[in-house]
Chain A
Amino acid sequence: MEESHSNLPTSHLLGSVPAVVSEEKSNITYEVPEANMQTFLSNNNGGGSSRGYQTLRSPPEGFEQQPPNNWKGVFSVSSYTQYFNVDTDVVINRMMSSFYPVGGDFFSKIDANPDLYGLVWISTTLVFVLASLGNCATYLMQKHTDSSASWSFDVGYVNVAACAIYGYAIVVPLAFYFLLQYLGTTASLIRFWCMWGYSLFIFILSSILLVIPVEILHWIIILAAGIDSACFVAVNLKSCIEGNDLTIVVFAAFFLQLALAIFIKAWFFP
């Protein structure tokens, strides 16, 4: 068994066992473009592109009740690697494009390769930033008004931040996905999660600015960030729905994002 491992491109990592062996084998068989079950899976995984998106809708060919992406079951790590198939520059590019509220081209940018890396780590970073800088800002505001206030670290901020941010980032795209499915348009849950995840990035930067203990500045910063992020979400959602009479849905998304921004300001940076 060791001999086959030495032929793999990872053989330079001597002494480390590849964690998921089946991935390597399907990568090796990629060059043969036949209607082969294994190759079909690897073609989908490595080549991706719009074929991958459409096959989510079309009935599977060649095998029975399985969706034709690289799904090996809920508990297999390799089924989820298709959603993390991004490089550093791609992630940074997507994060930068979340700053521009006009444009509406985010979905076309991520269409071939939506990723959940942004959702997971941007929301985790936001939880940490809110908990830590929220405590700092609360202390500084108290010091501002009452100079004898002492530092106390409220661990409850971590809990509230985690529940709020993770809840919002997971439930809201899910709700919009089901709503749009019900109203007849096609939607892709992964792309919704991806977009909402990247839309939270601006709150990380604004939280850093919100440490400055000036009340009026708090409101200016959070409203600017909230409107920017909400416009980003709304414009991209509109481009995804393409012209149906669903402006109420777009407005709902806008106001939800703005409500999140105001909640962040009110709870963590009073």
Chain B
Amino acid sequence: MSHSDTIPLHASSQSDIDEIENLINASVQSGPATVLPARPPSPPRIPVSSSPFIPSNLPPLPSTHQKPSFVPSVPSAPPPPPVNSHSSIGASGFGSPPNTLTEPVWETVKRDLSRIVSNLKLVVFPNPYREDPGKALRDWDLWGPFFFIVFLGLTLSWSASVKKSEVFAVAFALLAAGAVILTLNVLLLGGHIIFFQSLSLLGYCLFPLDIGAVICMLKDNVIIKVAVVCVTLAWSSWAAYPFMSSAVNPRRKALALYPVFLMYVSVGFLIIAID
């Protein structure tokens, strides 16, 4: 494999390559179409030779206890591949991609859905990794946020009695542009976040407001609406707080958090006010 001598591999990339090699061997031996089970930390399914060159999905882990483990694993990786999988790479050099390209669409959808659910559980529900922005959403994706934003726009548009398309436009523009602007705000204040990871996280934190919007659509009482929106707003803000506050200098924490709060309050107001 040509990649192993140019760039030192990330530890999980190395394990992915090992897994893919095992599957290639298994597929050569046991026949076609053993579908890979969904494994959230692995990079997107692309041809084997180029997968380590895309680090954007996974933040690098320069932790010292990792280094001694993958340095010996890199020299040990080249000897096994030429021995037993040169022929198998040649024979089924397209062994891994066809497993994802020719798998049924339902498998792909199921894999993406499971990734969305696992990201949701990490972000919105209490878990031990909340305080660490690197771990909290390591395998970010933009499908989840897209679904939640569109769903919220559709729910608000459905609840509105007049100017439905304008309501959808306002909600969608507010959320999409708002996520981008909030991320830019943190970057401009000198904070450290990954742009798309932050977009993804702000999208996932909309999930409680989605639930609130559905409840408000079903129950038309103002008191209930206000109570539900307050609860879900607090939940959304609680979900977004550790990520945003750890990304900037502590003296500027309020400057970074206030716009997030403003965006969720305005969405909450839209939910209450739409009749």
Instruction: With both chains docked as a complex, state the minimum distance between the C-beta of A71 and any C-beta of chain B, in angstroms.
Output: 14
B170 touches A85 (CB 8 A): no
- Using known A-B contacts A88-B252, A152-B275, A153-B274, determine if residue A17 contacts B60 with beta carbons closer than 8 Å: yes
Name the A residues within 8 Å of B265 (CB-CB).
128
> Interface segment, A1-9, A104-112, A167-175, A239-247?
A1-9
Contact of A151 among B185, B187, B275 (CB under 8 A): B275
Compute how far the CA of A11 lies from the CA of B273 in the bound complex, rounded to whole angstroms: 45
Name the one of A5, A6, A13, A120 contacting B246, with C-beta atoms under 8 angstroms.
A13
Measured between beta carbons, the chain A residues less than 8 angstroms from B192 are 10, 13, 16-19
Chain B count of residues within 8 A CB distance of the other chain? 46
Contacting pair B135 A15 (CB below 8 A): yes
Scan residues 165-215 of chain B and give those whose CB is less than 8 A from a CB of chain A: 166-167, 170, 184-185, 187-195, 197
- Which residues of chain A are within 8 angstroms of B258 by Cβ–Cβ distance? 121
**Alpha-carbon distance between A80 and B160 when the two chains are bound, in angstroms:** 39
Residues of A with C-beta under 8 A to B187 = 19-20, 77, 81
Cα-based distance from A83 to B163 in the complex (angstroms): 39
Interface residue B63 (Cβ < 8 Å from any Cβ of A): yes
Given contacts A84-B188, A88-B254, A132-B269, whether A155 and B163 have CB atoms under 8 Å apart is: yes
In-complex Cβ contact of B252 among A14, A87, A128 (8 A)? A87
Instruction: Say which residue of B133, B167, B259, B275 sits within 8 Å of A16 (CB atoms).
Output: B133
Q: Which residues in chain B, 47-96, are within 8 Å of chain A measured between CB atoms?
A: 59-63
Cα distance A13–B170 in the bound complex, in angstroms: 36
Instruction: Tell me the bound Cα distance from A82 to B60 in angstroms.
Output: 28
Q: Are A15 and B59 in contact, with the CB atoms below 8 A?
A: yes
Instruction: Decide if B63 touches A14 in the complex (CB within 8 Å).
Output: yes
Establish whether residues B255 and A88, one from each chain, have CB atoms under 8 Å apart when the complex forms. yes
Kindly identify which residue among A3, A124, A155 contacts B166, using a CB–CB cutoff of 8 Å.
Answer: A155
Query: Which chain A residue shows the least CB distance to B58?
Result: A15
Chain B's closest residue to A152 (CB) is: B275
In the bound complex, CA of A154 to CA of B162 (Å): 9
Question: CB-nearest residue of chain A relative to B62?
Answer: A2
Is B103 close to A, CB under 8 A?
A: no
Complex CA distance for A5 and B265, rounded to whole angstroms: 37
Q: A3 to B191, alpha carbons, bound, how many Å?
A: 21
Q: Counting chain B CB atoms within 10 Å of each CB, which of A5, A11, A132 scores highest?
A: A132
Question: Would you list which residues of chain A between 37 and 52 have a CB under 8 Å from chain B?
Answer: none
The answer on a CB contact under 8 Å between A128 and B262 is: yes
User: Could you tell me which A residues sit within 8 Å of B by CB distance?
Assistant: 2-3, 5-6, 10-11, 13-20, 23, 77, 80-81, 83-89, 91, 117, 120-121, 124-125, 128, 132, 135, 151-156, 158
- Complex A-B, nearest 5 residue pairs according to Cβ-Cβ distance, in ascending order: A15-B134, A2-B62, A84-B188, A153-B273, A87-B251
